[in-house]
Structure 1
Amino acid sequence: MSITQQYLLDSHRARQLGEAPPPAPGRHDWQVVREFRDYRRFRAVVAGRPARGRLREALGRWLRPRPRSTC
């Protein structure tokens, strides 16, 4: 059963029981993404790492490697 079929079935049951219909599939996707981002930032702070800019800093190190010293 697809997610759309499950949504239609749940909506039909809710209508028959006089309850509020469930939220449409994908309605809260961005909220989940934001909460996950906030959780990762929180875990970074608790671990003592910078909370922001880590990906850009890592890409900068990868794209612009430091010149090697010739000792």
Structure 2
Amino acid sequence: MRRFFGNRANAPFNISGFLLIVLLLSGIVMIFLPYEDPNALSVTPKEYWEIIVPLVTLILGYMFGERSNGD
């Protein structure tokens, strides 16, 4: 995991960035996912974004607020 996410100091930031990219890409795919019957999907794109937007803002808050403690 060290090779993929970097050293101990950068790993939390890199993991957060990776999760952010995965969430945003999955949300974009969910928007353009073709479906004829809206009842066929268990979660609509709007509901999916309602789930991932708080996670995205949490990750962004961690990424940008992490170094504000005087470092």
TM-score by length of 1: 0.36
TM-score by length of 2: 0.36
Larger radius of gyration: 1
- Which structure is richer in relative contact order (CA contacts within 8 A, separation 6 or more)? 2
Report which of the two has the higher share of helix: 2
